[in-house]
Amino acid sequence: MIPSPLMSVEEASASLLTMAQAQRLQDSESVALSDARQRVLANDLIATLDLPPWPNSAMDGYALNVDDWKGQPLTVSQQIFAGQTPEALLPGTCARIFTGAPVPDGANCVEMQENVERLEDGRVRFKQALSADQNIRPQGQENRAGQVLLAAGKRLGPFELAVAAGQGCTHVSVVRRPRVAVLSTGDELTEPGTPLKPGCIYNSNRILLSHWLSALGCEVIDGGILPDQPQHTRLKLEQLQHAADLILTTGGVSAGDADCLGQVLRDSGKPLFWKLAIKPGKPLTVGYFGNVPVIGLPGNPASALVTFGLLARAYLLRIQGVDDVTPLSFPINVGFDWPKAGSRREYLRARLEEGRAILYPNQSSGVLLGASWADGLLEIPEGCTLQRGDTARFIPFCDLF
């Protein structure tokens, strides 16, 4: 393989994360749990309660003390439902108990109701041998008060929000939303809802990125569509630089005459890198305009998707304080041959079928439909050929959102 003059995905990724480290958001806000999904925890969430707060029954059944039980039927001395506070167990008796109810003092075992017989005189006969602690969920089984449940930097999904609710929290302290200005560049672009002029296409990147950004906890500033004119481009970047933590653009970063975004960034900004050994997505351009970082994604929808998912996403999570920004990936057998090694790392739209990755038939960077068909991206390293049954790394889309 001829050595590639392009920047590697690793180098680009490291450079973006270094940049992100310098742009870490410091402000936090308190947000209701119902609004906190996808946000990032600003402080450790520390338990105020033991969970469970007291030993409770894991079954509908009967609570007794096995240590002073000789196998004889027992009288039922009380009935305890979830939400009630029991009396101490009368020695030599058992208590009717239901799932989630506190186990009374003096009891050390719960037998499930299926394994007992109610005698005609109301007493309970236990049909099997019993052991101490069975079917009792001990106090603090899940966590102890004072324990760090979720560390600062944790992204909040439904599980984390449920953990916070379990401690009685109504609000959590989260890092403020990154403000991201989204700019679509291209004379040919038209917003849906407007008649299409000859030679034009509708803007599909804007909605894709807006939703993806929201899912990453960001506030989207819609910068609209920018014509391919350097003067306009410069003015727009000047306007946005004070409003945004990041300017995210699509299009205009290749080497063509109409590719103004890249030109302006190189002439009037501070370019950090341009052109990666990645396919699709080679023209990705990153730099600063004034003090604001700019990530210039290529305009082709699949290129925008791949570079956003693999590079911009990690940047946006890291500025919010997320530590592990590497997307989930795993090796998978491929269901196709890949006879020709490429000089750039490829990310193919692929689907998992019967434990193998298969490819969307059209991998053109202009084709968006393949992303909807696919379950994720299959990574083929530069210089690599594959035969059916070989393994390659798969990055599921579900983890990229």
Binding residues for ligand AMP, rule: CB under 6 A, are 184, 186, 188-189, 201, 203-206, 250-252, 254, 298-301, 366
H-helix or E-strand containing 14?
helix 9-22
Task: Kindly state the smallest distance separating residue 192's Cβ from ligand AMP, in Å.
Answer: 11
Instruction: Specify the residue, 252 or 296, whose C-beta has the smaller distance to Mg ion.
Output: 252
Which helix (H) or strand (E) element contains residue 159? Answer: helix 158-166
Minimum CB distance to ligand AMP, residue 261 (Å): 8
205 binds, among Mg ion, ligand AMP, none (CB under 5 to 8 A by kind): ligand AMP
Minimum CB separation from ligand AMP for residue 11, in Å? 22
Contact 54, 71 (CB under 8 A): no
CB of 285: closest distance to ligand AMP in angstroms? 10
Nearest distance, CB of residue 58 and ligand AMP, angstroms: 55
Let me know: does 23 contact 175? Beta carbons within 8 Å. no
Residue with Cβ nearer Mg ion (236 or 345) = 236
Stretch 153-192: interaction string toward Mg ion, x if CB under 5 A? ---------------------------------x------
Closest approach of Mg ion to the CB of residue 306, in Å: 17
Distance CA(265)–CA(285), nearest Å, equals: 9
CB of 259 to Mg ion, least distance (A): 6
**Shortest distance in whole angstroms from residue 210 CB to ligand AMP:** 11
| DSSP letter, residue 346 | E
Q: Which is nearer to ligand AMP, 23 or 363 (CB)?
A: 363
- Pick 147 or 190: Cβ nearer ligand AMP: 190
**Residue number with CB closer to ligand AMP (13 or 205):** 205
In this complex, which beta carbon is closest to ligand AMP, that of residue 228 or of residue 346?
Answer: 228
Q: Report yes or no: 11 and 280 within 8 Å, Cβ to Cβ.
A: no
Q: Measured at CB, which residue is nearest to ligand AMP?
A: 299
Which of 134, 168, 177 lies closest to 39, judged by CA?
177
The Cα-based distances of 102 to 90, 114, 132 in angstroms read 15, 20, 16
- By beta-carbon proximity to ligand AMP, the closer residue of 102 and 262 is 262
Alpha-carbon span 255 to 239, nearest angstrom: 25
Stretch that binds Mg ion, among 155-163, 263-271, 297-305, 321-329 (CB under 5 A): 297-305
Ramachandran quadrant class, 194 (left: phi over 0; alpha: psi -120 to 50; beta: rest): beta
- Cβ pair 264, 201 in contact under 8 A: no
Q: How many residues lie near Mg ion (CB under 5 A)? A: 4
65, interface contact from Mg ion, ligand AMP, none, CB < 5-8 Å by kind: none
DSSP per residue, 253-320: -SSSTT-HHHHHHHHHSEEEEE-BSEES-TT-EEEEETTEEEEEE-SSHHHHHHHIIIIIHHHHHHHT
The reply on whether position 251 binds Mg ion by CB under 5 A is: yes
Give the tokens for residue 292: 């604001």
99 vs 204, beta carbon nearer ligand AMP: 204
Beta strands in 47-129 (DSSP E): 56-57, 61-64, 75-80, 93-97, 109-112, 116-118, 124-126
Q: Which does 56 bind (CB under 5 to 8 A by kind): Mg ion, ligand AMP, none?
A: none
Strand partners, 98: none
Residue 28: contacted member of Mg ion, ligand AMP, none (CB under 5 to 8 Å, by partner type) = none
Sites of contact with Mg ion (CB under 5 A):
186, 251-252, 299
